[in-house]
């Protein structure tokens, strides 16, 4: 009986339980809150959720374009959950910040305005537009280029340590795209001065798929021969899994550009780039929201 009371928290002070819960994870704390009323009370405390928030969270939210007072919640848990479900714009709207709900690790999106896009300031190649579905005030619309080249950077000290991150191009289309059907793009992701992760992919969801053309030989003299069953087939190599964009829950498309690992205490620049310069075809129709940087499972 004593063991059961101990397991249910009946003989432990709430402060001790809160300390123990703060050493777990947000997901585990929510599960343990179901054990007993004392656990539930401890799991709601600011002492627990303060530990789940990043150590520099106040500095980050102070850079919000709406000011830190816009994030004045009644509890640290409410603030945590808000940051998981509602990315906030920081640094003049050039980045967004949020938390990964299960772990509390940092997530950022680099807005198109913060990226280096070749010819972005040439009106006949790119233009800046506003879309109500975007978290940013402006996105970049591709009008006409033959040289597609985008890159971005982020410092590892902004990210959660001991974590593998993925970088994802976030984009959509409002008009017919062209130039991305058969020619794959290439990306490079990694810590400056270290080995980089490279990846080949298609920005068109149908890019690289097998294509077939069937032709039946006409009937002659009312007699079917084996020639009539002849099928001419042309096909292209089918792209591996993960090489085409997929739909996000927010309605945008994304494609993984690569991954990198952030070591504890490391301060270095992560360089992310993607290009399609070999095909030489006219390219148009993409709308770039930014590059999403978030922990991988």
pLDDT tens-digit readout, 152-177 = 999 999 999 999 999 999 999 987 78
Most confident among 41-45, 74-78, 86-90, 279-283 (mean pLDDT): 86-90
Which helix (H) or strand (E) segment holds residue 20: the answer is helix 14-22
pLDDT band for position 21 (cuts 50, 70, 90): confident
**Which of 155, 136, 30, 141 has its CA nearest to residue 80?**
30
Structure-token pair, residue 23: 């050493």
Distance separating alpha carbons of residues 296 and 116, to the nearest angstrom: 25
Tell me the average pLDDT across 215-225: 49
Residue 237 has pLDDT above 60, yes or no: no
**Which of 60, 107, 116, 63 has its CA nearest to residue 87?**
107
Quote the domain boundaries for residue 148: 53-295
pLDDT band for position 204 (cuts 50, 70, 90): confident
Same domain for 202 and 85:
yes
CB–CB of 147/183 below 8 Å? no
Specify the pLDDT at position 4: 40
User: Which of 15, 36, 52 is the last residue in one of the domains?
Assistant: 52
Same domain for 241 and 106:
yes
Specify the pLDDT at position 128: 98
Distance separating alpha carbons of residues 89 and 3, to the nearest angstrom: 49
User: Which of 19, 35, 52 is the last residue in one of the domains?
Assistant: 52
Specify the pLDDT at position 228: 44
- Residue 239's alpha-carbon distances to 52, 158, 282, 286, in angstroms, are 40, 34, 22, 20
Domain total in the chain: 2
Distance separating alpha carbons of residues 47 and 43, to the nearest angstrom: 9
Same domain for 190 and 177:
yes
* Phi, psi angles (nearest 5°) of residue 113: -65, -25
Same domain for 226 and 170:
yes
Same domain for 159 and 21:
no
Which helix (H) or strand (E) segment holds residue 148: the answer is strand 148-155
| Residue keyed to tokens 């520099």 | 56
User: Which of 16, 31, 52 is the last residue in one of the domains?
Assistant: 52
Task: Please report the DSSP string for 23-66 in residue order.
Answer: TS-HHHHHHHTTT-HHHHHHHTSHHHHHHHS-TTHHHHHTTBTT
**Which of 141, 133, 64 has its CA nearest to residue 96?**
64
pLDDT in tens, 103-140: 999 999 999 999 999 999 999 999 999 999 999 999 99
Same domain for 87 and 208:
yes
Tell me the average pLDDT across 218-234: 46
Which DSSP letter does residue 145 get? B
Same domain for 46 and 66:
no
More confident residue, 277 or 188: 188
Q: CATH number for the domain including 103?
A: 2.60.120.260
Distance separating alpha carbons of residues 110 and 290, to the nearest angstrom: 5
Same domain for 57 and 8:
no
Same domain for 46 and 136:
no
Mean pLDDT rounded to a whole number for the chain: 85
Same domain for 148 and 113:
yes
pTM assigned to the model: 0.84
Same domain for 188 and 165:
yes
Which DSSP letter does residue 283 get? B
Q: How many CA atoms lie within 13 A of 93 on its CB side?
A: 10
Tell me the average pLDDT across 282-291: 95
Say what percent of the chain tops pLDDT 90.
Answer: 59
Tell me the average pLDDT across 256-277: 95
Same domain for 124 and 223:
yes
pLDDT band for position 224 (cuts 50, 70, 90): very low
Q: Residue 176 in 3-state DSSP?
A: strand
CB–CB of 100/54 below 8 Å? no
């Amino acid at each position: 009986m004593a063991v059961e009371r101990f397991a249910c928290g009946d003989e432990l002070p709430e402060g001790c339980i809160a300390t123990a819960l703060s050493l777990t994870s947000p997901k585990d704390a929510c599960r343990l809150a179901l054990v007993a009323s004392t656990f539930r009370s401890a799991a709601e405390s600011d002492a627990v959720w303060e530990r789940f928030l990043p150590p520099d969270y106040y500095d980050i939210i102070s850079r919000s374009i709406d000011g830190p007072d816009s994030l004045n919640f009644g509890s640290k848990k409410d603030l945590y959950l808000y940051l998981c479900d509602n990315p906030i714009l920081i640094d003049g709207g050039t980045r967004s910040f949020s938390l990964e709900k299960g772990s509390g690790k940092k997530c950022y999106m680099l807005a198109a305005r913060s990226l280096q896009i070749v010819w972005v300031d040439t009106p006949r190649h790119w233009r800046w537009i506003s879309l109500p579905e975007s978290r940013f005030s402006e996105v970049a619309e591709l009008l006409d280029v033959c040289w597609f080249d985008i890159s971005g950077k982020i410092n590892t000290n902004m990210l959660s340590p001991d974590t593998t991150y993925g970088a994802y191009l976030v984009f959509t289309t409002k008009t017919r795209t062209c130039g991305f059907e058969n020619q794959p793009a290439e990306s490079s992701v990694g810590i400056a001065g270290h080995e980089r992760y490279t990846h080949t992919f298609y920005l068109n969801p149908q890019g690289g798929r097998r294509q077939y053309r069937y032709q039946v030989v006409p009937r002659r003299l009312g007699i079917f021969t084996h020639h009539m069953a002849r099928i001419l087939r042309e096909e292209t190599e089918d792209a591996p899994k993960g090489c085409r964009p997929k739909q996000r829950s927010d309605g945008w498309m994304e494609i993984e550009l690569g991954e990198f690992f952030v070591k504890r205490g490391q301060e270095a620049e992560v360089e992310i780039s993607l290009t399609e310069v070999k095909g030489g075809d006219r390219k148009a129709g993409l709308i770039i929201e930014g590059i999403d940087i978030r922990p991988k499972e």
